[in-house]
Amino acid sequence: MDTEFRPEIERALRFITEHLESPLTVAQVARAAHLSEFHFHRVFHAVVGEPVGRFITRRRLELAALRLAYEPDRSVTDIALSSGYSSTSNFSKAFSAHFGCSPTRVRQPELGLPAAIGRLTAVYGKGFQPSDLYVLPPEVDHEERRRRAAAWDARVQFVTTEGLDLACLASPGGYDLATLERTWSELIGRARQLGLCEEAVDAWGIAHDSPQLTAPEWCRYHACVPCPPDRPLPPPLFRGRLSEGRYAVFRYSGEVDGVEAAYRTIYSCWFPESILAPDDFTPFDHYVSDGPKDGRIDMEMWFKVRPRR
């Protein structure tokens, strides 16, 4: 079932992502997937691993946690409303029920572990600490933050694009490295069969979730190559898109193990020192070389940006 209905479910997931700030009904999402509501419930759970309502709630709260951590100038009320909640009160109750701490506590990690961790331990285990939500590197003084921001500023380029249509394949094992390698091998083989690429591969990757917030079995990764919008894509391939807009693009060439730290310092140092904010928290990886070699990688990190509010 995963392969058969993957394109329909990916349409649903894209629709949810694009409408997290608005009220959503299962009927709306089912229509976006081109499935009946009855059939959609069963298929979504089978492919994604959780009911659609719980998925929407989890994604809203995880996005809110990232906004709380990386956009300190935004009020909790603003973040609540932009996360699809009608009031700060409703948002705070949902956030506390899911993460075991209040939204304001996320911005005060120095206060330590609250007495009640809540039901989050059922997902992440008893060792979870709400300070993990504060997915920033260890706190640095302002001068060090400026130094790190300046280092990234020296290599940033800004690209305005009309968008890029992609052929995608989902990793069945999230961010597991061995599974990612198999996913890329399968995608490239299928893309060559369809004439989407030859020897040189224009490879893009989409990591949809923060591993600091999302349980490993729910992390989603898509391996992608450019694809004309009118080209038929047989399952398990499905359509994706780098959306139109303005992007901050950073080149990274170094150890594979340093990629996560690079992302985190861009979010925690470069963005706060700029007048821009992430338009979303789903950056794109653009692989300049074919892939990791001898533990090193050459890649670009694409962040869609907007003026800070």
Per-residue model confidence as pLDDT tens digits over 92-132: 999 988 887 888 887 775 655 444 334 444 444 545 454 44
Other CB atoms within a 10 A radius of the CB of residue 197 amount to: 17
Looking at per-residue pLDDT, the higher value among 240 and 97 belongs to 240
- Contact criterion met (CB below 8 Å) for 165 and 234: no
- The pLDDT tens digits for 160-199 are 999 999 999 999 988 888 898 899 999 999 999 999 987 7
Q: Identify the pLDDT of residue 113.
A: 41
Q: Place 134 in a pLDDT band, splitting at 50, 70 and 90.
A: very low
Cα–Cα dist 61/300, whole Å:
28
C-alpha span between 299 and 205 (Å, rounded): 10
Task: Count the alpha carbons within 13 Å of 68 in the hemisphere toward its beta carbon.
Answer: 30
Closest CA to 286 of 182, 177, 193, 159: 159
The answer to whether the predicted template modeling score (pTM) of the entire model surpasses 0.85 is no
pLDDT of residue 295: 77
pLDDT at residue 2 is higher than 70: no
Extents of the domains making up the chain: 6-49, 56-134, 157-307
Question: pLDDT tens digits, residue range 149-164?
Answer: 999 999 999 999 999 9
**Four-way CATH pick for 157-307: 3.20.80.10, 3.90.950.10, 3.30.1120.10, 3.55.10.10:** 3.20.80.10
Q: Is the pLDDT of residue 300 over 90?
A: yes
Q: Given a cut of 60, is residue 281 above it in pLDDT?
A: yes
Residue 269 CA, distance from chain mean position = 19
From the number of C-beta atoms within 10 Å of its C-beta (0-12, 13-18, 19+), residue 223 rates as buried
List, in sequence order, every beta strand (DSSP E) within the chain.
Answer: 156-161, 164-170, 203-207, 221-226, 238-242, 245-255, 276-278, 284-287, 296-307
pLDDT of residue 3: 66
pLDDT band at 273 (very low <50, low <70, confident <90, very high): very high
